[in-house]
Amino acid sequence: MVAAVDKFLAAKSYHASMSMGPGAATETDFVAPDRMRVRLGAVGDQVLIGDTMYVTVQGKTRKQPAPGGGVAGTRSREKVLGNLQTLKVAALGSETLAGTATRKYKVENSQPNKTSSTFWVAADTGYPVQAVNVAEVGGKTYTSTLKYSRYNDPSIRIEAPAVK
């Protein structure tokens, strides 16, 4: 599982779709080394380039410092898996997911927050294709589903939007 996360972190680009129950999914594109675009549906869009964030809401774009170190602050084993010292991984066998042969894993951690995730990793490429995450934060439980695609796709491009 750690090898799949390392491969994910080394990808030149990818697309991810995240859903948290009813409502529109959040669409994210990443281009190495430090560009990310997050489409939040009716809420607006965010583009992060290095330590700068562009926020577009209702057609107006503003430029501001990115929180938490920008894209680099999200790209580590620890950000994906939590504390490696308290990490527990169990192989759950093989499963076909949306026509893709995968290996399925249960990943649990207690630090920095209590999390439980199920990962599906493509058998042929070693890249994660889906993750269902359950986290307890502040006494509340949150579930999210992430679907990953378009690894190393050179057509994914992210440019700074015009500030208006």
Which domains are present in the chain? 2-149 (2.50.20.20)
Rounded to whole angstroms, how far apart are CA atoms 104 and 30?
A: 24
Q: How many Cβ atoms from other residues are within 10 Å of residue 148's Cβ?
A: 22
% pLDDT > 70, the chain? 99
Q: Which tokens in the block code for residue 45? A: 């869009």
pTM for the whole thing? 0.88
SS3 labels along 16-37: EEEECCCCCCEEEEEECCCEEE
At residue 25, what is the residue type? A
Q: For 146, left (φ over 0), alpha (ψ -120 to 50), or beta?
A: beta
From the number of C-beta atoms within 10 Å of its C-beta (0-12, 13-18, 19+), residue 142 rates as middle
% pLDDT > 90, the chain? 67
Q: Which residue has the tokens 């209590």?
A: 114
Mean pLDDT of the chain: 91
What secondary structure letter does DSSP report for 162?
P
Confidence of residue 9 (pLDDT cuts 50, 70, 90): very high
Comparing 103-107, 130-134, 150-154, the range with the smallest average pLDDT is: 130-134
pLDDT, one tens digit per residue, over 87-105 is 899 999 999 999 999 999 9
* Long-range pairs, 75-80, Cβ under 8 A, ≥24: 75/9, 76/9, 77/2, 77/5, 77/6, 77/9, 80/5, 80/8, 80/9
Residues 122-149: what's their mean pLDDT?
91
